Amino acid sequence: MESRGLHSQQQDSVVPLAGPGPQGAHGVRDTLRGGFAGSVQTQLLPAHALELPEKNFQLNRDRLRLATLRSEQGLHAPLRLQMELRATGQVGQRLAFLPSSHVACDTLRGMDESIGFEDILNDPEQSEWMGDPHRMVEHKLGLL
């Protein structure tokens, strides 16, 4: 007969449950975490007809501007603009704890004189997080 007690035998027989998946811990769908059950069609198609054009607005605007530049000034104009945008995107990055306004990119895209949704509600001075500058730079450089 074993010298282990009944309590230790019960602990050995208990199998820990895996984390609650889309079906939850007890086989019931977790609507709070997984959302409402829908068909594949509702997951693939947008909820509204204007959802996709709104997501791709900036991309479509840039493509139209480049096509207009090409037809008006030739092939060199869109190539030069893309080169300048790429160069300002690489140089315009600051340290991890300093907010970057990307003024050069906005100027090249022609968005420097317009006020949008992100200009008002995306103000970095009003953000709720402020981290330790040394730790943020070390994390960005991969030293942590």
Whether residue 96 is predicted with pLDDT greater than 70 in this model: the reply is: no
What is the spatial distance between Cα 82 and Cα 88, in angstroms, rounded to a whole number? 10
Give 93's pLDDT tier (boundaries 50, 70, 90). low
Alpha helices in 16-75 (DSSP H): 31-34, 40-44, 51-55, 57-73
At 144 the pLDDT is: 76
* Burial (CB count within 10 angstroms: exposed 0-12, middle 13-18, buried 19+), residue 109: middle
At 37 the pLDDT is: 66
At 49 the pLDDT is: 85
Give 38's pLDDT tier (boundaries 50, 70, 90). low
Dihedral (CA of 23, 29, 30, 32) sign: positive
Give 22-34 pLDDT, tens digit per residue: 566 777 777 777 7
Whether residue 47 is predicted with pLDDT greater than 90 in this model: the reply is: no
Element holding 121 (H helix, E strand): helix 117-121
At 4 the pLDDT is: 53
Token duo for residue 120: 């008002």
Of 60-64, 67-71, 126-130, the least confident:
126-130
Write down the mean pLDDT value for the chain. 76
Whether residue 61 is predicted with pLDDT greater than 70 in this model: the reply is: yes
What is the spatial distance between Cα 31 and Cα 10, in angstroms, rounded to a whole number? 33
Give 119-134 pLDDT, tens digit per residue: 778 766 666 666 788 8
Closest to 116 measured CA to CA, from 54, 63, 49, 53? 54
Give phi and psi for 100, each to the nearest 5. Answer: -110, 130
At 69 the pLDDT is: 94
